[in-house]
Chains A and B, each alone.
Chain A
C-alpha cells in the first residue's frame, strides 16, 4: 500500500464541452426507472425494510426519490451492538488493509459517478455541477484519508535514549456515530464515515432524513470496497434516531455536521456519562456560519461581483460556506451594490437538472418558509435591491434576494439563514469590517477582496474564521487543498480533508519498554 500514487483531486466534469454535457441526460434516464429507491435499515448483514420515510424531489415534491425504513430505538441499540462486535476484527486489521477498502470504495463510486450525481440532483436538488462536485469530493475523502491513515499508523518519532524503546501509536476510539446533513449528501457522510473507519472504528451512520438515498449509496460503496458489514450500519430516521445514538453509552465518538442548535444539544447530551460507561464521548462537529465577504476600496469589482454572487446563490445558499453578508468599504459601496444587485437580477431560478439553473429550490417547505420570513424581515428593516420573483410554481423555490441598509443588530445580518438571501453592509474601512466579523458568534468561512498586501496581512491576522479566501469565491473547498472547518460556534475546529482530521477518531497510546537487562542493552 505504500505504493499508492500521490493524492490528486478527482477531476470534476468539464461541462463546458458539449459531449460531456450530453452524458448527463443519459445518466438521468438511466436513474429514472429505478426510482423510488428502497433504503432499508442495514445492521450488519441484516436488513429491515419499511416504508415510513419518503424523500422527495425538492423541485417536484410529488416525485418520491427514496422510500426508507425509519429506524427504531431497538434498531439503534442493535446497530451499536453490531458495531461493537464488528470493531474487534476491523480494528485488528493492518491500517493498509483498511485503507485499501477505502480505495476500492472510491473506485466503485468512480464507476457510477454520473448515476450517483443524478441521484443527488433528484433527492437534494443539487444542480449538476454541484452534484458532480459532491461525488468527486466523496471520492477525494476516500483517497485522501486512505493515505493519511497509513501515514498516521507509522506514528510519530519520539526521542530515544539508550536502554529504552519509546513508541507512540494511535488506536481507534471505538464505536463512532456519524450524523450527517443533506446539503452534501454523499461527501459529508463519506468524509466523516471513512475517517472513522480507516482509523479502525466501527460506524453507525444516521443520515439526514432528506437524503437517505444518497447515504445508502455510500454504505453500498464502502461494503463493496471491503468494509465488513458489521463495521458500517445504516439507520435512517429523524432527530430522535440521532438522539438515541448520541445517548447510547457504547458510542465513543460522535461526528456531526449540521445546525448550531442541534450541535449544542449533541454536545450537552454527549457530556452525560451513563452508568457503566467507561469513557468520555468526543464530539466532532461542523456547525453553522454567517460568512462575510470584506470588500476593500481597492478591490477589483470585476472579480468580486461574480465571486460574491456565486458564493451567495449557488445551491440556493445552502452551503455552510456560503456568503451571507458583504462588508464593503464606503468608497465603492454604491458601485458594488449596483453591480451585485444587477448580477443577482439575472440569476436563473430553475430545476436542478437544467444546466442553465443558477438557483435551485431549497430543500423543503420549512426551509422555504424560513427564508421567506427572513426576506420579509429584510424588507421591513432595510431595503431590497434585487429579488428574482420569476420562480417555478411547484417546488420549494425561494426568490434570490439582495438586501441593504439593515440595522446592525438585524437578525438578517446576524443569524444563519441558509438560503438565497444576501445582505450588503457598508463599513468605514477594513478595520471596521474586521470588528464586525469579530463580533459574530460564528467563524466558518470568510472572504476578502483587496489588493494591498498589507491589508491581506492585517485581515489574516485578525480574522477568527476557519477558512479565509482572498480575492476569490468563498465556497468550494477542495480536499487536501483547503482543509475545511470552522472555529467558535461554527464547530470544533477539526479540518475535514486536512492533515489532522483523522486524529479526532483515535486515541494516542505510548509504550515504553526497558531494553536493559543486567546492564546489557537488549
Chain B
C-alpha cells in the first residue's frame, strides 16, 4: 500500500523540530530557566515526590470550598496529613499547631490563602467581567484567549439553564469589551479568513442533566436545545464557540451533537466553531477520519477548528475501564500517546483547509513537531494555531507569542467552589510523573525533551 502523502524526510523533520524547540526554549521567560520558586511550586515539588503527601494535599485542596469555617478547614488539614506516614518537617509543625484548638483559625486562614493562591494561578476571575483585565493584558502581549466557565456538575434542568445563561452573558460581555481592543493581525486572520477575538469554550455536560453514556441521544437532544441559542448569539456577535471534550462516557453524545448541529442549515455559514480530538484515545484516528469525512461532505464555512489535545481524563479512563474489566480506551504508554498525537497533527495539517487546526499542548516537542511539519509541507505559520492552559503553559505562551505564532490561552473563569474539579485536574497534570512539565521542571536536558517519542 502506498501512502497518499510523501513520507516526510525524518532526519530533516527531526533537525527542524530540534531547532524550533531550542529556539522556543531560549525564548522562555528567564524565571523558567531557574525553576519556579513560588510557594505553591515548592508544595507541588514536595507532592510529586511523595504519593501519600500528594493525596493528602489534593484531598485538602478539594474540600476547601466545602469547609464551613477556618476551624473546620484546619481540622480537615490535620486529618489528611495524619494519613501521611512521614510528613515533611514543615507540615509536621503545621499538624502540631492544628492540634491546638486556639491556633486552628490561623492555620485554617493560612491554608485557605494557600489554596486561593494556587487557584488564582489557573482561574483568572470569578466572573467574565472580573476576568477582562487579564484577557486584555494577554491580548496586548499578543496572546488570544478562550474563556471557559467553570461550574458545578449539572444534575438539574435549572442548572443547565443557568450555565447556558452564563455562557450567553459571557459572549455578550466579552464581545463588547473586546471590540475595543487594538487590532492584532496574527491573532485575527489566517489564510482562510477572519478569526474571532471572542472565543468561549463550552462543556456539553453542563448544558444538560440528561447525558447518559448508555443512551446518548437523550442528552444530545437536550443539550442541542441550549446550544443553538448560544450559536445564534455567537454568530450575531461574530464570536467563536468551542465545544470541549470530556470523558469517554459522553464522547459519543458530544461528537454526534457537534456534527449534527453544524450540519443544520441554520449553522452552515456560522458561527466560527470547533471541537476537540483526544489523542490519548486508541480510536482517535478513526474519530478524526469521521470528522474529516463530515467536513468534506458538509463543506461548512468557516471550517470547524479541531483542537488536538492528549486528553485530561487519563487516570479516570484507566480506573473506570479496570473496574469494569473493559479494555483500556487510552494508550497506556506515554510515548504511544505522543506518537499518536504527532500522527494526528500531521493528518490534520494535511487536511486543511477542510478544517482548521489548533494544537493544544504544553509539550515543547509536540508543539515544535507541529510547527516543523507545517513548515515542511509548505504551510504558513498562521494556519496553525497553538493553545495552552492558563497557569500551566504561561511560559510556552510567552515564547510562542514572542516568535510570532498565534497562541490562544484557555482561561477558566469561576469561583472556588465551581472551580475545584478543574483545579484538581490541573494539579494532577502538573505533578504527574509522566508529564512534560514535570520533566522540564526536573531539569531534564533539552535534547531529551525534544527527542522523538
Interface residues of A (CB under 8 A from B): 8-12, 14-18, 21, 128-129, 297-302, 305-306, 309, 331, 338-339, 341-343, 345-346, 348, 354-356, 358, 451-454
Asked whether any CB of chain A lies closer than 8 Å to the CB of B261, the reply is: no
**Cα distance A331–B69 in the bound complex, in angstroms:** 12
CA distance A452 to B156 in the complex (A): 27
| CB pair B82 A16 closer than 8 Å | no
Q: Determine how close the nearest CB of chain A comes to the CB of B88; give it in whole angstroms.
A: 19
> B156 near A356 (CB under 8 angstroms)?
no
B331 contacts A by Cβ under 8 Å:
no
Task: Given the known inter-chain contacts A343-B209, A453-B79, please indicate yes or no for A11 contacting B325, CB distance below 8 A.
Answer: yes
Interface residues of B in 58-98 (CB under 8 A from A): 59, 62-63, 66-68, 72, 75-76, 79-80, 82-83
- Identify B79's interface contact among A128, A306, A339, A454, CB under 8 A: A454
Cβ-neighbour of B82 out of A15, A298, A301, A453 (below 8 A) = A453
Known contacts A8-B325, A339-B155, A453-B82: A16-B72 contact under CB 8 Å: no
Given contacts A356-B218, A451-B76, A454-B79, contact A11 B326 (CB under 8 A): yes
Residue ID in chain B nearest A301 by CB atoms: B152
The 10 A-B pairs at the shortest CB distance, nearest first, are namely: A342-B156, A11-B325, A16-B213, A302-B153, A356-B215, A15-B214, A355-B215, A343-B155, A451-B63, A298-B66
Pairs A–B under 8 Å by Cβ, sample size 28: A8-B325, A10-B325, A11-B326, A12-B324, A14-B324, A15-B213, A298-B63, A298-B67, A298-B68, A302-B152, A305-B155, A338-B156, A342-B157, A342-B159, A342-B209, A343-B155, A345-B156, A345-B157, A346-B157, A346-B209, A346-B210, A348-B210, A355-B215, A451-B76, A452-B76, A452-B79, A453-B80, A454-B75
Tell me the nearest residue of chain A to B208, going by C-beta.
A346
B156 partner, pick from A12, A343, A354, A453, beta carbons under 8 A: A343
- Is B224's beta carbon under 8 Å from chain A? no
User: B319: shortest Cβ distance to chain A, in Å?
Assistant: 13
**A342 / chain B contacts, CB cutoff of 8 Å:** 155-159, 209
User: For the complex, is B252 an interface residue (Cβ under 8 Å from A)?
Assistant: yes
- B152 contacts which chain A residues (CB < 8 A)? 301-302
Contacts A342-B155, A453-B82 given: A298-B214 contact, CB under 8 Å?
A: no
| A12 and chain B: residue at smallest CB distance | B324
Q: For B214, list chain A residues within 8 Å (CB).
A: 15-16, 21, 128-129, 355
Of all chain A residues, which has the CB nearest B72? A298
Distance of A339 Cα from B153 Cα, bound (Å)? 10
Distance in angstroms from B327 CB to nearest chain A CB is 9
Is the C-beta of B25 less than 8 angstroms from some C-beta in chain A?
no
Q: Is B212 an interface residue (CB 8 A)?
A: yes
Chain A residues, Cβ within 8 Å of B62: 300, 451
B195 contacts A by Cβ under 8 Å: no
Q: Which of B82, B156, B324 contacts A339 (CB 8 A)?
A: B156
**Contacting residues, chain A, for B66 (C-beta < 8 A):** 297-300, 451
| Complex interface bits, B200-218 against A, C-beta within 8 A gives 1, otherwise 0 | 0000000001101111111
Contact A302 B249 (CB under 8 A): no
Q: Which of A21, A338, A339 has the most CB of B within 10 A?
A: A339
CB pair B79 A16 closer than 8 Å: no
Min C-beta distance of A125 to chain B, whole Å: 17
Q: Within the complex, which residue of B153, B251, B324, B421 is in contact with A306, where a contact is CB–CB below 8 Å?
A: B153
Residues of chain B within 8 A of A305, CB atoms compared: 153, 155
Determine the residue in chain B with the shortest Cβ distance to A8.
B325
Query: Is B13 part of the contact surface with A, judged by Cβ < 8 Å?
Result: no
Asked whether any CB of chain A lies closer than 8 Å to the CB of B131, the reply is no
The reply to whether A356 and B324 contact each other, CB–CB distance below 8 Å, is no
Contact residue among A11, A343, A356 (Cβ-Cβ distance under 8 Å from B212): A356
Given A298-B76, A302-B152, A348 and B325 contact (CB-CB distance below 8 Å):
no
Chain A residues whose CB sits within 8 angstroms of the CB of B75 once the complex forms: 452, 454
Report B37 CB to chain A, min CB distance, Å.
Answer: 31
Q: Using Cβ atoms and an 8 Å threshold, which residues of chain A touch B67?
A: 298
A305 vs B153: C-alpha distance in the bound complex, in angstroms? 10
User: Nearest Cβ distance between residue B256 and chain A, in whole angstroms?
Assistant: 9
Beta-carbon contacts of B258-284 to A below 8 Å, as 1s and 0s? 000000000000000000000000000
Q: Give min CB distance, B55 to chain A, whole Å.
A: 11
Are A306's CB and B155's CB within 8 A? yes
Residues in B neighbouring A8, C-beta threshold 8 A:
325
- Please give the distance in Å from B234's CB to the nearest CB on chain A: 27
Please indicate the chain B residues that have their CB under 8 angstroms from the CB of A21 in the complex: 214
For the A-B complex with A339-B155, A342-B159, A343-B156 known, give 4 more contacts whose Cβ atoms are closer than 8 Å: A11-B324, A331-B68, A342-B157, A454-B75
- Complex Cα distance, B63 from A305, in Å, reads 16
A11, B212: Cα distance in complex, Å:
19
Q: Which residues of chain A are within 8 angstroms of B249 by Cβ–Cβ distance? A: 16
B248 interface residue (CB < 8 Å to A): yes
Cβ-closest chain B residue relative to A21: B214
Which residue of chain B is the closest to A358 with respect to CB atoms? B212
- A contact residues around B325 at 8 Å (CB): 8-12
Report the nearest B residue to A20, measured CB to CB: B214
**A339, B67: Cα distance in complex, Å:** 19
CB distance from A506 to the nearest CB of B (A): 30
In the complex, the answer to whether A16 meets B80 with C-beta atoms within 8 Å is no
Specify the chain B residue showing the minimal Cβ separation from A309: B155
Nearest-Cβ distance from residue B79 to partner chain A, whole angstroms: 5
Residues of chain A within 8 A (CB-CB) of B218 are 348, 356
Expressed in whole angstroms, the minimum distance between the Cβ of B35 and any Cβ of chain A is: 32
Chain B residues whose CB sits within 8 angstroms of the CB of A299 once the complex forms: 66
Within 8 A of A (CB), among B400-436: 421
Query: Complex formed: what's the CA distance from A129 to B214 in Å?
Result: 8
What separation, in Å, do the CA atoms of A11 and B322 have in the docked complex? 10
Q: Which of B75, B83, B325 counts the most chain A CB atoms within 10 A?
A: B325
Residues of B within 8 A of A129 (CB): 214
Centre residue among B68, B82, B157, B212 by max chain A CB count within 10 A: B212
Q: Which residue of B lies closest to A453 (CB)?
A: B79
Q: Is there an interface contact between A16 and B248, defined as CB atoms closer than 8 Å?
A: yes
CA distance A16 to B158 in the complex (A): 26
CA distance A12 to B325 in the complex (A): 8
8 Å CB contact of A451 from B59, B153, B155: B59
Min CB distance A19 to B, Å, is 11
Q: Which residues of B contact A358 (CB under 8 A)?
A: 212
Please provide the chain B residues from 134 to 170 with a CB less than 8 Å away from any CB of chain A in the complex.
152-153, 155-159
Could you tell me the distance between the alpha carbons of A379 and B358 in the complex, rounded to whole angstroms? 55
What is the minimal beta-carbon distance from B386 to any residue of chain A, in angstroms?
A: 32
In the bound complex, how far is the Cα of B249 from the Cα of A14, in angstroms?
10
In the bound complex, CA of A355 to CA of B252 (Å): 15
- Tell me how far the C-beta of B225 lies from the nearest C-beta in chain A, rounded to whole angstroms: 13
What is the CA–CA distance of A11 and B327 in the complex, to the nearest angstrom? 10
**Is B421 in contact with A302, judged by CB distance below 8 angstroms?**
yes
Q: Please give the distance in Å from A481's CB to the nearest CB on chain B.
A: 9
Give chain A nearest CB distance to B342 CB in angstroms. 26
Q: Chain B contacts of A341 at CB under 8 A?
A: 156
Inter-chain CA distance A519–B169, complex, in Å, is: 98
Q: Which chain A residues border B215 with CB–CB below 8 Å? A: 354-356
Q: How far is the CA of A483 from the CA of B326 in the complex (A)?
A: 22
Contacts of B326 in A (CB 8 A): 11, 14
Q: Contact mask B151-192 → A, CB, 8 Å, 1/0?
A: 011011111000000000000000000000000000000000
A10 to B324, alpha carbons, bound, how many Å?
8
Enumerate chain A residues within 8 angstroms of B76, measured Cβ to Cβ.
Answer: 298, 451-452
Structural contact, B213 and A297, CB atoms closer than 8 A: no
CB contacts (< 8 Å) of B83 on chain A: these are 453
| Nearest-Cβ distance from residue B192 to partner chain A, whole angstroms | 33
Q: From B80, which residue of chain A is reached at the shortest CB distance?
A: A453
In the complex, what's the smallest C-beta–C-beta distance from A241 to chain B, in angstroms? 37
Q: Find chain B residues with CB under 8 A from A11 CB.
A: 324-326
CB of A222, distance to nearest CB on chain B (Å): 24
Taken together as a complex, chains A and B put the C-alpha atoms of A106 and B68 apart, in Å, by: 52
B149 to chain A, nearest CB (A): 16
What CA separation (Å) do A299 and B217 show in the bound complex?
Answer: 31
**B residues in contact with A356, CB < 8 Å:** 212, 215, 217-218
